Structure 1
């Protein structure tokens, strides 16, 4: 199940505020202060630390079956998408990744597949990464890539077409549109230039 995307952005606070307005809830904030990583998770809010020169490594927000993360970067950059999988599914996908020559990086919490398309694919088998498996899912992600063939690689990895990912070619890699499940129809643009559509 496609459940996740990650960005780097110079507009961290504005990005959090935007997604909070769509019903996302902050589950963690990790930032570097005075050379050390610390947690600034709720119940803390921005008024508690805005003036402390914190460089946020990750802010995680959840809404139903959707999980988004972002951290500070000098410019907006799309980093990865994530799929929620069972342990058995993960083993099968990783076997296929090795068969087609993709590099895999893994630790206790998550696994990444490096692609030649300018972003990574995360495999997540910890189901606490989402609030729900059924509500507020991702309908569609539109991704621009510099190299063709992403749809076929996704089909090979997951042994079926991944219809939620719509790919177009461009001169650089970026996430351009996210269509999320919602109770009402909303179309807006997040602080990083991504069109966000909520639809039933």
Structure 2
């Protein structure tokens, strides 16, 4: 299940406020302050630390089965998308990645696959990364702008099906261009990093 994307951005506070306005909750904020990584998670608000020189490594926004993260970067840059998979599926996807000659990096918490399209794929087996596995609130479709063709066929080889919900358009940059979600406060909207977000009615139970 596609559940996640991560972006580096110079617009950290504006990006957080944007997703809060769309009904997301901020679950954590971790940043480097005075040489150490520290937590600035809610109930702290930006008024509590805005005047400090904090370089945020990750801010996490959650809603239903969706988890969006972003951190400070000098320029907007897309980093990776994430899929929630079963442990058995994880092993098969990693095997498929190696057949594609894609580098696989595993650790106890998550697995990253480096693609030849200038972004990474996160594989996650821990359901605590989302608020509700049974929620109808989810990413219905995600369109990436990339610089070369072949992504859809490679994702089919990686996952063995079209359930990945990811599509691509050829362009000059590598970025998240459009995301279709449900249960949004307004639609269509564009986040501070140029990601267009469109509402789709949630499927009935």
TM-score when normalising by structure 1: 0.97
Equivalent residue for 2:142? 141
Equivalent residue for 1:19? 19
User: How far does residue 183 in structure 1 lie from its aligned partner after superposition?
Assistant: 6.3
Equivalent residue for 1:53? 53
CA contact 1:144–1:172 (8 Å) conserved in 2: yes
For residues 185 and 191 of structure 2, the distance between their equivalents in structure 1, rounded to whole angstroms, comes to 18
User: How far does residue 185 in structure 1 lie from its aligned partner after superposition?
Assistant: 6.0
Equivalent residue for 2:182? 181
User: How far does residue 147 in structure 1 lie from its aligned partner after superposition?
Assistant: 1.4
For residues 185 and 23 of structure 1, the distance between their equivalents in structure 2, rounded to whole angstroms, comes to 10
For residues 163 and 132 of structure 1, the distance between their equivalents in structure 2, rounded to whole angstroms, comes to 19
Equivalent residue for 2:86? 86
Aligned residues between the structures: 200
Q: Is 1:199 the counterpart of 2:205 in the alignment?
A: no
Q: C-alpha offsets along residues 1-50 of structure 1, whole Å, 9 cap, x if unaligned?
A: 00000000000000000000111111110000011100000111100000
User: How far does residue 163 in structure 1 lie from its aligned partner after superposition?
Assistant: 5.7
Query: 4+ runs of 1 displaced by more than 4 Å?
Result: none
User: How far does residue 166 in structure 1 lie from its aligned partner after superposition?
Assistant: 1.6
For residues 58 and 15 of structure 1, the distance between their equivalents in structure 2, rounded to whole angstroms, comes to 12
Say if 1:111 and 1:28 are closer, same or farther in 2 by CA, change over 3 A.
same
Equivalent residue for 2:191? 190
Equivalent residue for 2:129? 129
For residues 99 and 164 of structure 1, the distance between their equivalents in structure 2, rounded to whole angstroms, comes to 22
Matches within 5 A, 1:98-177: 98-133=98-133, 134-162=135-163, 164-177=165-178
For residues 91 and 167 of structure 2, the distance between their equivalents in structure 1, rounded to whole angstroms, comes to 25
Unaligned runs of 5+ residues in structure 2 are: none
Unaligned runs of 5+ residues in structure 1 are: none
Equivalent residue for 1:43? 43
CA contact 2:27–2:62 (8 Å) conserved in 1: yes
Equivalent residue for 1:34? 34
For residues 167 and 91 of structure 2, the distance between their equivalents in structure 1, rounded to whole angstroms, comes to 25
CA contact 2:84–2:123 (8 Å) conserved in 1: yes
Q: C-alpha offsets along residues 99-130 of structure 1, whole Å, 9 cap, x if unaligned?
A: 11100111111100000001000000000111
* Segment of structure 1 superposing worse, 179-188 or 3-12: 179-188
For residues 28 and 184 of structure 1, the distance between their equivalents in structure 2, rounded to whole angstroms, comes to 22
User: How far does residue 162 in structure 1 lie from its aligned partner after superposition?
Assistant: 4.0
